[in-house]
Amino acid sequence: MTQARGKKYKAVLKTVEPGKHHSPVEAVKLVKSSSTSKFDGTVEAHLRLGVDPKHADQMVRGSVVLPHGTGKKRRVLVFAAGEKAREAQEAGADHVGGEDLAKRIQEGWLDFDVTLATPDMMGMVGRLGKILGPRGMMPNPKAGTVTFDIARAVKDIQGGRIEYRVDKTGIIHTSIGKVSYTDDQLRENFAALMDAVVRAKPASAKGHYLRSVYLSPTMGPSVQVDPVAAGKIG
């Protein structure tokens, strides 16, 4: 069943020309003006890559610190012990522990957004793969969420570090800020994301890497970005 669109959405839709590729600067302005929500919506980036995630050597994932953050408070859980647990607490982690946290998660508790772990705790954390994995919260060295530099990891996440990963269709979905951000803040966050994704291009990827790039508000039409221009702004 096709969702009915409101008058505001239909009015905004007229300002977005179907099929037109916009420069990153134009796209940022347009996505802000195309937001139809009464609240401060999120601006999302959707990147379709020329990779086949079924092959391990074409999996694109990583993390990047957005210069201006995402505008969201992120609850950080850390698996660490001893001195590293103390460092995580001092850095501002919301939850720090070991077996106690693992047991709570196994019982259904998921009151956090990001999971970090020191390498020595991964044997225990591995038991939580079936719970955290599908939710995109399983610690992983490639994403920078398994590290002994735990204090820095906590501060980076609270300061705006995000993880990105292609889904099974080869698309990355992630937020780059809020509609209330200035044009420059959104553009700089978008540039940081694009730089990281371009650098993460697998050597085995053939043909066009950036197939399509879109920016969209929480509520409102998406805006297509010129993938060639987007790939050069990082």
Chunked mean pLDDT (size 10), the chain, 234 residues: 58 70 95 92 96 92 90 93 97 96 96 96 96 92 92 90 92 96 96 95 91 95 94 74
Query: Which amino acid is present at 126?
Result: G
What SS3 class is residue 96?
strand
Assigned fold of 76-159: Rossmann fold (3.40.50)
Please report, for the chain, the start and end positions of each structural domain, with discontinuous segments joined by +: 20-69+162-230, 76-159
CB atoms within 10 A of CB 220: 23
Give the whole-angstrom CA distance, residue 117 versus residue 170.
27
> What are the phi and psi torsion angles at 153 (to 5°)?
-60, -45
- Confidence at residue 18, expressed as pLDDT on a 0 to 100 scale: 76
* HSE toward the beta carbon, residue 171, CA cutoff 13 A: 10
Alpha carbon 100 to chain centroid, angstroms: 28
- Which strands, in side-by-side order, build the sheet including 114-117? 95-97, 76-79, 114-117
d(CA 119, CA 139): 10
pTM of the model: 0.74
Q: CATH classification of 20-69+162-230 is 3.40.50.740, yes or no?
A: no
Report long-range pairs for 182-189 (Cβ below 8 Å, ≥24 apart). Answer: 183/25, 183/28, 183/29, 183/32, 185/67, 185/68, 186/28, 186/31, 186/32, 186/43, 186/68, 187/24, 187/25, 187/28, 187/233, 188/67, 188/68, 189/66, 189/67, 189/68, 189/160
What pLDDT sits at residue 206?
A: 86
